[in-house]
Amino acid sequence: MSAGMPPSPGRFRAADRAAVALASLGGLGFLPGPRATYASFVLCVPLWLSGAAPTPARLLVTLALIAAASAGTVWAGGRCERRYGSDPHCVVLDEVAGMLASALLVPWDAAHLAAAFLLFRALDVVKPPPAYQLQSLPAGWGILADDLAAGLYALLLLLAAAALVPGF
Would you list the DSSP string of 69-120?
HHHHHHHHHHHHHHHH-SS-TT--HHHHHHHHHHTTTS--SHHHHHHHHHHH
CA nearest to 145, candidates 128, 133, 159, 157: 133
Look at residue 10 in the predicted model and tell me its pLDDT: 53
Amino acid at 46: P
pLDDT in tens, 41-100: 999 999 999 988 889 999 999 999 999 999 999 999 999 998 898 889 999 999 999 999
Cα angle for residues 35, 38, 39 (degrees, 5° grid)? 90
Q: Assign residue 122 a region: left if phi > 0, alpha if psi is -120 to 50, beta otherwise?
A: alpha
**Structure-model confidence comparison of residues 85 and 120, the more confident one:** 120
Helix (H) or strand (E) holding 145: helix 139-164
Q: Is the pLDDT confidence value at 1 over 50?
A: no
Angle between the N-to-C axes of helices 139-164 and 56-84, in degrees from 0 to 180, rounded to the nearest 10 = 150
CB 111 within 8 A of CB 167: no
What is the pLDDT confidence band of residue 12, given thresholds at 50, 70 and 90?
Answer: low
For the entire predicted model, the pTM comes to 0.90
Contacts of 153 (CB under 8 A, 6+ apart): 119, 123, 128, 131
